[in-house]
Copies of this chain bind each other. A is one copy, B any other.
Amino acid sequence: MACFARDGFHGASMQKICAEAGMSPGALYRHFPSKEAIIAAIVEDERADRLHVFDEVRKAPTILGGLMGCLRQLLEEQTLPTATLGPEIMAEAIRNAPLRAAVEPCEEETRVHLRAALEEAVARGEIDPGLSLDEVMILLQIMGDGIILNHQLHPEWRITARLPDIHRLVVRMLAPAGREG
Protein backbone atom coordinates (compact mmCIF):
# COMPACT_ATOMS: atom_id res chain seq x y z
CA MET A 1 0.00 0.00 0.00
CA ALA A 2 2.85 2.37 0.80
CA CYS A 3 4.34 1.77 -2.63
CA PHE A 4 1.10 2.20 -4.52
CA ALA A 5 0.34 5.36 -2.58
CA ARG A 6 3.80 6.81 -3.17
CA ASP A 7 4.26 5.90 -6.82
CA GLY A 8 0.81 5.18 -8.16
CA PHE A 9 -0.47 2.04 -9.77
CA HIS A 10 1.97 1.85 -12.58
CA GLY A 11 4.86 3.60 -10.89
CA ALA A 12 4.96 1.00 -8.16
CA SER A 13 7.06 -1.79 -9.60
CA MET A 14 7.11 -5.27 -8.19
CA GLN A 15 10.75 -4.71 -7.33
CA LYS A 16 9.93 -1.65 -5.22
CA ILE A 17 7.14 -3.55 -3.55
CA CYS A 18 9.57 -6.36 -2.80
CA ALA A 19 12.03 -3.90 -1.29
CA GLU A 20 9.31 -2.30 0.83
CA ALA A 21 8.05 -5.66 2.00
CA GLY A 22 11.56 -7.01 2.62
CA MET A 23 10.86 -9.89 0.28
CA SER A 24 12.22 -11.35 -2.89
CA PRO A 25 10.03 -11.46 -6.00
CA GLY A 26 9.73 -15.20 -5.62
CA ALA A 27 8.37 -14.88 -2.11
CA LEU A 28 5.96 -12.15 -3.13
CA TYR A 29 4.64 -14.28 -5.97
CA ARG A 30 4.00 -17.06 -3.52
CA HIS A 31 1.45 -14.82 -1.80
CA PHE A 32 -0.05 -13.02 -4.78
CA PRO A 33 -0.37 -14.51 -8.25
CA SER A 34 0.12 -11.14 -9.94
CA LYS A 35 0.42 -7.43 -9.42
CA GLU A 36 -3.26 -6.99 -10.14
CA ALA A 37 -4.04 -9.44 -7.37
CA ILE A 38 -2.23 -7.22 -4.89
CA ILE A 39 -4.36 -4.30 -5.93
CA ALA A 40 -7.49 -6.38 -5.64
CA ALA A 41 -6.44 -7.46 -2.16
CA ILE A 42 -5.94 -3.83 -1.14
CA VAL A 43 -9.41 -2.94 -2.39
CA GLU A 44 -10.89 -5.86 -0.50
CA ASP A 45 -9.07 -4.77 2.62
CA GLU A 46 -10.38 -1.23 2.31
CA ARG A 47 -13.83 -2.64 1.83
CA ALA A 48 -13.67 -4.46 5.15
CA ASP A 49 -12.59 -1.23 6.82
CA ARG A 50 -15.42 0.76 5.30
CA LEU A 51 -17.96 -1.62 6.77
CA HIS A 52 -17.49 -0.11 10.19
CA VAL A 53 -17.49 3.53 9.21
CA PHE A 54 -21.27 3.72 9.29
CA ASP A 55 -21.62 1.94 12.62
CA GLU A 56 -21.87 5.10 14.69
CA VAL A 57 -24.13 7.13 12.44
CA ARG A 58 -27.31 6.10 14.21
CA LYS A 59 -25.88 6.90 17.64
CA ALA A 60 -25.11 10.50 16.71
CA PRO A 61 -27.51 13.23 17.86
CA THR A 62 -28.47 13.87 14.25
CA ILE A 63 -28.10 11.55 11.31
CA LEU A 64 -26.63 14.25 9.11
CA GLY A 65 -24.17 15.12 11.85
CA GLY A 66 -23.29 11.45 12.09
CA LEU A 67 -22.66 11.25 8.36
CA MET A 68 -20.43 14.29 8.68
CA GLY A 69 -18.58 12.42 11.40
CA CYS A 70 -18.03 9.52 9.00
CA LEU A 71 -16.61 11.92 6.49
CA ARG A 72 -14.32 13.42 9.10
CA GLN A 73 -13.13 9.96 10.05
CA LEU A 74 -12.53 9.13 6.40
CA LEU A 75 -10.56 12.32 5.94
CA GLU A 76 -8.45 11.68 8.99
CA GLU A 77 -7.57 8.27 7.64
CA GLN A 78 -6.59 10.11 4.51
CA THR A 79 -3.83 11.83 6.42
CA LEU A 80 -1.95 8.56 6.30
CA PRO A 81 0.47 8.12 3.42
CA THR A 82 -1.81 5.47 1.95
CA ALA A 83 -4.45 8.08 1.35
CA THR A 84 -3.70 8.89 -2.27
CA LEU A 85 -4.86 5.37 -3.01
CA GLY A 86 -8.46 6.52 -3.06
CA PRO A 87 -8.30 8.81 -6.10
CA GLU A 88 -5.76 6.48 -7.68
CA ILE A 89 -8.14 3.55 -7.46
CA MET A 90 -11.05 5.61 -8.75
CA ALA A 91 -9.13 6.84 -11.78
CA GLU A 92 -7.84 3.38 -12.55
CA ALA A 93 -11.25 1.80 -12.08
CA ILE A 94 -12.64 3.98 -14.87
CA ARG A 95 -10.52 2.15 -17.43
CA ASN A 96 -9.64 -1.12 -15.74
CA ALA A 97 -12.66 -3.41 -15.81
CA PRO A 98 -11.45 -6.08 -13.35
CA LEU A 99 -10.57 -3.41 -10.82
CA ARG A 100 -13.91 -1.74 -11.34
CA ALA A 101 -15.58 -5.06 -10.64
CA ALA A 102 -13.61 -5.33 -7.40
CA VAL A 103 -14.52 -1.82 -6.34
CA GLU A 104 -18.19 -1.99 -7.23
CA PRO A 105 -19.37 -4.19 -4.31
CA CYS A 106 -17.63 -1.85 -1.91
CA GLU A 107 -19.40 1.14 -3.38
CA GLU A 108 -22.71 -0.69 -3.41
CA GLU A 109 -22.33 -1.47 0.28
CA THR A 110 -21.60 2.17 0.99
CA ARG A 111 -24.73 3.17 -0.89
CA VAL A 112 -26.85 0.71 1.05
CA HIS A 113 -25.64 2.12 4.35
CA LEU A 114 -25.99 5.67 3.13
CA ARG A 115 -29.53 5.08 1.97
CA ALA A 116 -30.50 3.48 5.28
CA ALA A 117 -29.07 6.47 7.11
CA LEU A 118 -30.97 8.86 4.88
CA GLU A 119 -34.23 7.03 5.43
CA GLU A 120 -33.65 7.22 9.14
CA ALA A 121 -32.97 10.93 8.75
CA VAL A 122 -36.26 11.42 6.93
CA ALA A 123 -38.02 9.54 9.71
CA ARG A 124 -36.42 11.81 12.28
CA GLY A 125 -37.52 14.87 10.36
CA GLU A 126 -34.02 15.96 9.42
CA ILE A 127 -34.69 15.70 5.72
CA ASP A 128 -37.58 17.20 3.80
CA PRO A 129 -39.74 14.21 2.88
CA GLY A 130 -40.51 15.91 -0.41
CA LEU A 131 -36.97 15.31 -1.66
CA SER A 132 -36.05 12.34 -3.81
CA LEU A 133 -33.75 10.18 -1.74
CA ASP A 134 -32.11 8.85 -4.89
CA GLU A 135 -30.97 12.30 -5.89
CA VAL A 136 -29.90 13.17 -2.37
CA MET A 137 -27.91 9.97 -2.10
CA ILE A 138 -26.16 10.52 -5.40
CA LEU A 139 -25.36 14.10 -4.51
CA LEU A 140 -23.96 13.12 -1.12
CA GLN A 141 -21.82 10.41 -2.64
CA ILE A 142 -20.61 12.87 -5.23
CA MET A 143 -19.74 15.30 -2.47
CA GLY A 144 -17.93 12.59 -0.54
CA ASP A 145 -15.80 11.60 -3.52
CA GLY A 146 -15.17 15.23 -4.38
CA ILE A 147 -14.10 16.08 -0.86
CA ILE A 148 -11.64 13.19 -0.74
CA LEU A 149 -10.25 14.17 -4.12
CA ASN A 150 -9.88 17.81 -3.17
CA HIS A 151 -8.39 16.92 0.17
CA GLN A 152 -5.63 15.13 -1.69
CA LEU A 153 -5.22 17.68 -4.43
CA HIS A 154 -5.30 20.72 -2.15
CA PRO A 155 -4.33 19.64 1.36
CA GLU A 156 -3.52 23.26 2.09
CA TRP A 157 -7.24 24.06 2.00
CA ARG A 158 -7.68 22.15 5.22
CA ILE A 159 -11.07 20.86 4.27
CA THR A 160 -11.41 19.12 7.61
CA ALA A 161 -11.67 22.51 9.27
CA ARG A 162 -14.40 23.47 6.84
CA LEU A 163 -16.58 20.49 7.56
CA PRO A 164 -18.83 22.41 10.00
CA ASP A 165 -19.56 24.99 7.31
CA ILE A 166 -20.20 22.28 4.77
CA HIS A 167 -22.45 20.57 7.27
CA ARG A 168 -24.44 23.79 7.61
CA LEU A 169 -24.84 24.06 3.85
CA VAL A 170 -25.95 20.45 3.58
CA VAL A 171 -28.52 21.00 6.33
CA ARG A 172 -29.85 24.05 4.47
CA MET A 173 -30.16 21.88 1.41
CA LEU A 174 -31.95 18.97 3.03
CA ALA A 175 -33.88 20.31 6.00
CA PRO A 176 -37.65 20.70 5.73
CA ALA A 177 -38.67 24.29 5.03
CA GLY A 178 -38.66 26.52 8.11
CA ARG A 179 -36.44 24.18 10.06
CA GLU A 180 -32.98 25.24 9.12
CA GLY A 181 -30.03 24.44 11.37
> Which residues of A are interface residues toward B (Cβ below 8 A)?
6-11, 84, 87-88, 90-95, 100, 131-132, 135-136, 138-139, 141-147, 149-150, 152-153, 157, 159, 162, 165-166, 169-170, 172-174, 177, 180
Contact = CB atoms under 8 A, between A and B. Distances in A.
A150 B141 contact: yes
Given A100-B153, A142-B150, 7 more contacts: A84-B95, A88-B94, A132-B165, A139-B166, A145-B146, A149-B149, A177-B180
Copies in the complex: 2
Nearest to A96: B8
A91 to B, nearest CB: 4
A130 to B, nearest CB: 11
Contact of A91 (B91, B144, B165): B91
Nearest to A136: B169
Contacts of A142: 143, 146-147, 149-150
Contacts of A6: 95
Given A84-B95, A143-B142, A162-B138, A149 B90 contact: yes
5 contacts: A87-B91, A91-B92, A143-B146, A144-B146, A172-B172
